[in-house]
Structure 1
Amino acid sequence: MAPRHTHPGKRPAVSQLSTAQIEKLSHYQLDSPSLPQTPPGSSTPSRTGSPASSNGFLSASGRVPPWWLQWAINPYVALKLLATPVVLYFNWKLVTPYVAPDLPNPFAPIFLLSGYIADSKPEQPRYAKSYNDLIFLAYYIVFFSFVREYLAIKVSRPVARYFGLRKEGKIVRFAEQFYALVYFAFFGAWGYFSYWLQQLIVLVLGLEKPRKDYNMLVAHHFITLWLVGWSYFLNMTIIGSAVYMSMDIPDAFFAASKLLNYIQWERAKMVAFGTFIGVWTYFRHYLNFKMLWSVWYESHLAPEDSKQWNWSAGTYLVSWLPTFVFVSIFALQMLNLFWYWLIWKILIKAIITRTADDERSDDEDEDEPTANEKHD
């Protein structure tokens, strides 16, 4: 039998460990994207993160999605899907001029905008609605899923371990906030059209560990997607872009404060959190009320020829739709006020106790112990 006590500064030799101890060590100290093989007859250990199992990549809930959704959590599958149309596009570009010079490239709409209006100004290009927009949208959902999972596996996990995080639950949370910071800070302007659909896939597959406000978060995503979809159909894309701006920019500051919290930089965390509250107040409340005012009082300024339901002309702004949009934005504001109340609870607690913890999160310290805590 393997000895139960070893020198505190040394790990026991592999030959001294029991089979169960080897499984525990290999499971909890794994940094590669695939789990170790287990001895015959033993069960595969469970994980809370999203790196791969022996049969495929797992979501945070431990489920393996069906084969047609593997791209959502496996960056290598997503990369293959992303590269295929690009390769086909350039093959077409190189070969077709010698065969059929005037034949349009059928692979371009997959990752390039379609429906360009010929008489629009080159410096201000305009695009008509097209069914190809759905293909374009799907491509970039896969793209941002790839970015998310690649950052989680190859960047955020090593960074988390560098700063001393060992519990799997905190590493998963760190990866979520790391991606949020990167996305909102760098990809927000480019990725507005696909982020919320990708987030719905994240919620459905359980790629993130649920918080206490999980139902509120799902409602928030659906309402936002609803609003942006209608802004597309009603030719009110400025409102849709404004909704994204008001939602996304504060989240970058929140993600930064959460990352500082995980690595326990207390003073920097408090400064970042105070900045976040100011940014949140301006974007998610002041600007949101400005949008409500605009929808209620300025809808009449829309061109008269757009105030009809005419599918062929692409105009759908009938008289009752502004009220419909107003109610949707108002519902979004109610959710924002709920989170605003939680934010102020955190701030008041921070002032009293000098600690700032996210009220929405489950107790992440009650996570699975690390290898050093488990093996005996």
Structure 2
Amino acid sequence: MAAAKHANGVAPRQRKTLNTTTSNGVNGKHHNKTAKATTRRKHLDPSLLRRCLCIATTRTWLIPLLLLLVLLAIYAVSPTESNIVHPFIFLSYKQQPAAPDVARPVQYGKGKRDVTFVCFYMVVLSFTRELFMQEIFRPLARRLGIRSRGKQLRFMEQTYTALYFALMAPFGVYAMRRTPVWYFNTRAMYQDFPHKTHEACFKFYYLFQAAYWAQQAIVMLLGLEKPRKDFRELIAHHIITISLIALSYRFHFTYMGIAVYLTHDISDFFSRQVASLPNLRILYSLLGEFQTVGPYVLNWQTQQYKCWISSVITFTLLAFIQALYLFWLFCLLRIGYRYIVHNIARDGRSEAEASEAEQMNSYSNGSAKGMVKT
């Protein structure tokens, strides 16, 4: 019996203990493998999310591009006017003429769907701005020898602005030339008021410009551009400009609005002080022709808004813009004076050069201290 119990040199209790230990070891190895696999999965998800965030922050034009592709794909399913995306891409409120008139082009009215048109092209402008600045203008700045990040941003912003207005100014001249207000005919701004309908090119130019200024306001609010010393004046300029755009479109002062648009386009390409003269001409017309040319009464039913209230509001907003132009003219003359008299060639409105100079000074001071210590 003893020999049977101790067969193979292993007691039954020892055999049971050995089996338990072996099974625990196998289970432990399996548990460790499972734990490692779970840990790997946990590590994979954050890394993937981190990569997506990194791509989205370095290639900021991808997000608006994806949004545009989604909207265009929805429209491609059913490319008709009944498609919900149609007013986002194309002009709305096309007027059907009562009688066919070859001499009179097709007119477009105004309405709430124009807001969707502006929003869509805000996304388009966001995509083009980020794409051009990151993929074209930044490499160009590096090739031109601009190494500082602040100076690169300033170069990219100014180049994009110059390119935009270089393209939009001729289109604005074409749209204005097809209206009675060519060339800054102030009397035509008030004749046959209200101006409720416009040609396709006129309406597209007006709403596309509204999208540009709204998108620029968002860029400023998000802090995507490096702030300057005249940041408050720029905010005031954007608020007044967007207010003029919205009010002029809603209350049918678009003939006056296109004149202000065009002066902005041409002056922003060269110098904003150039816009002072056309603005002064419009301000002068508000004091005389606004009351004497065309109807001058408030009638909500006929949408007749040319009255003393609109005169005061329009004059006040344009006067504020004119004051800002005079302020920037003063800054420009001060820069010229400092350069001629004191040989200081620096734009006092820009924070980029000042901050970079401070960084360079602190860096040089720190390195000098390190050399003294060594």
Task: Select the structure that is richer in helix.
Answer: 2
Distance 1:308 1:351 in 2: 54
Task: Give me the TM-score of the superposition, normalised by structure 2.
Answer: 0.66
- Write out per-residue CA displacement over residues 193-250 of structure 1, whole angstroms, 9 at most, x where no aligned residue: 2121111101110010110000000001111111121111221102111222222322
Letter in 1 for 2:282: M
Structure with higher Rg: it is: 2
**Aligned position for 1:63:** none
The equivalent position to 2:256 in structure 1, one of 217, 223, 239, is 239
| Corresponding position: 1:338 with 2:327 | yes
Distance 1:86 1:196 in 2: 23
Distance 2:262 2:338 in 1: 29
Relative to structure 1, the CA distance from residue 149 to residue 55 in structure 2 (aligned partners, 3 Å threshold; closer, same or farther) is closer
Are the aligned partners of 2:165 and 2:269 in contact in 1 as well (CA < 8 Å)? yes
What is the Cα deviation at residue 165 of structure 1?
0.9
The equivalent position to 2:96 in structure 1, one of 118, 125, 129, is 118
| Structure 2 unaligned spans of 5+ | 1-49, 173-204
Are the aligned partners of 2:87 and 2:116 in contact in 1 as well (CA < 8 Å)? yes
Q: What CA RMSD, in Å, does the superposition of the two structures yield over aligned residues? A: 3.0
Distance 2:78 2:53 in 1: 38
- Write out per-residue CA displacement over residues 62-108 of structure 1, whole angstroms, 9 at most, x where no aligned residue: xxxxxxxxxxx821111122222223223203xx7xxxxxx733321
The equivalent position to 1:213 in structure 2, one of 223, 230, 234, is 230
**Aligned position for 1:78:** 64
Within 5 Å, which residues of 2 pair with 1:135-174?
Answer: 135-174=116-155
Task: Give me the TM-score of the superposition, normalised by structure 1.
Answer: 0.65
Runs of 4 or more, structure 1, over 6 Å off, are: 373-376
Relative to structure 1, the CA distance from residue 114 to residue 314 in structure 2 (aligned partners, 3 Å threshold; closer, same or farther) is farther
What is the Cα deviation at residue 307 of structure 1?
3.5
Distance 2:247 2:326 in 1: 23
The equivalent position to 2:247 in structure 1, one of 230, 238, 242, is 230
**Aligned position for 2:290:** 299
| Structure 1 unaligned spans of 5+ | 1-43, 45-51, 59-72, 97-102, 254-275
Letter in 1 for 2:232: N
**Aligned position for 1:57:** 57
What is the Cα deviation at residue 331 of structure 1?
1.1
The equivalent position to 1:290 in structure 2, one of 272, 281, 296, is 281
Structure 1 stretch displaced more, 350-359 or 81-90: 350-359
Report the number of matched residues: 274
**Aligned position for 1:19:** none
Aligned-residue identity in percent: 32
What is the Cα deviation at residue 317 of structure 1?
3.1
Within 5 Å, which residues of 2 pair with 1:30-45?
Answer: none
Letter in 2 for 1:54: C
What is the Cα deviation at residue 156 of structure 1?
0.8
What is the Cα deviation at residue 152 of structure 1?
1.1
Question: Which structure carries more relative contact order (alpha carbon 8 Å, separation 6+)?
Answer: 1
